[in-house]
Amino acid sequence: MAHCRVLKMVSIMRTTQRSKRENSFFKRFEHKSGTLVEFWIRFKSTMDQQRHTQKQLDNNDNHSSAKTSTHLALESHAAKVYTYSAFYTFKEEAIYSIDTCRTGGFTERGELEVTTVKDSSRGTNFEVAYNPALTDDPGTRKASCSCTRFERTGILCRHIIWIFSANGMKIIPDDYVVNKWTKEYLRLRMFNYNGEGTENMEVIDEK
């Protein structure tokens, strides 16, 4: 009877209401002949390993800067503000922007400068709408790309990087630095009602 109850408890953790990723995660700890204690030991071991890996990554982010691979000032700025993992995603896009992106045409739509960017790595063209803004502050400039990578991932695509660099921008505008990908986000601390520090609390990104 006890064994049957364990199986029922485990099966509850894998339902259609959970995402596929969650189901896959919990499935690794399930065994037909396993007990709840064995499940908990496997689960705790994996969580401890994840925490150890995260602490190593956090230490790297807080005490060192990633190595850049291009001459782009935008990449140097990204190395200063992004975590290691986010930076290497940006870095890959920066390299592609130099190696595979070229300007194919240009039109004006009101205050927007719309540039066709030829992307040889994908064999297609993308449109980047760029607003140089009315001020000299590069932090207020805006752009959007038809590939919608930034909207999906929070990291600039190679096409916008190409346009920003072509316009002499040296820093990533604030609107395109998503908090959760930054080193500063790792240092944020929230305090409970006792005034005790609580690490890694969820912070809503207003952007």
CA 128/CA 159 separation, integer angstroms = 7
Please tell me the predicted confidence (pLDDT) of residue 194.
43
Q: Would residue 196 count as lying in a domain? A: no
Q: Would residue 132 count as lying in a domain? A: yes
Q: Would residue 57 count as lying in a domain? A: no
Q: Would residue 141 count as lying in a domain? A: yes
Tens digit of each residue's pLDDT (9 = 90 or more) over 99-156: 999 999 999 998 899 999 999 999 999 999 999 876 667 667 899 999 999 999 999 9
Tens digit of each residue's pLDDT (9 = 90 or more) over 9-68: 445 455 445 455 555 655 665 555 567 777 777 777 777 776 666 666 655 555 566 788
Q: 174-193 b/e with 16+ CB inside 10 Å = b?
A: eebbbeebbbebbeeeeeee
Q: Would residue 123 count as lying in a domain? A: yes
- pLDDT tops 80 at residue 187: no
Q: Would residue 155 count as lying in a domain? A: yes
Please tell me the predicted confidence (pLDDT) of residue 47.
73
Three-state secondary structure of the chain: CHHHHHHHHHHHCCCCCCCHHHHHHHHCCCCCCCCHHHHHHHHHHHHHHHHHHHHHHHHHHHHCCCCCCCCCHHHHHHHHHECHHHHHHHHHHHHHHHHHEEEEEEEEECCEEEEEEEECCCCEEEEEEEECCCCCCHHHCEEEECCCHHHHHCCCCHHHHHHHHHCCCCCCCHHHCCHHHEHHHHHCCEECCCCCEECCCCCCCCC
User: Global pTM?
Assistant: 0.63
Domain that holds residue 154: 73-184
Please tell me the predicted confidence (pLDDT) of residue 6.
46
Query: How many separate domains does the chain show?
Result: 1
Q: Which residue type is seen at 81?
A: V
Higher-confidence position of 189 and 93 = 93
Provide the edge-to-edge strand list for the sheet that holds 112-119: 101-109, 112-119, 124-131, 142-145
Please tell me the predicted confidence (pLDDT) of residue 32.
58
Structural tokens at position 192? 């409970």
Q: Would residue 191 count as lying in a domain? A: no
According to DSSP, the residues that pair with 127 across neighbouring strands are 116
Q: Would residue 118 count as lying in a domain? A: yes
Structural tokens at position 76? 């140097």
Tens digit of each residue's pLDDT (9 = 90 or more) over 71-102: 999 999 999 999 888 999 999 999 999 999 99
Tens digit of each residue's pLDDT (9 = 90 or more) over 151-186: 999 999 999 999 999 999 999 999 999 998 998 775
Please tell me the predicted confidence (pLDDT) of residue 20.
56
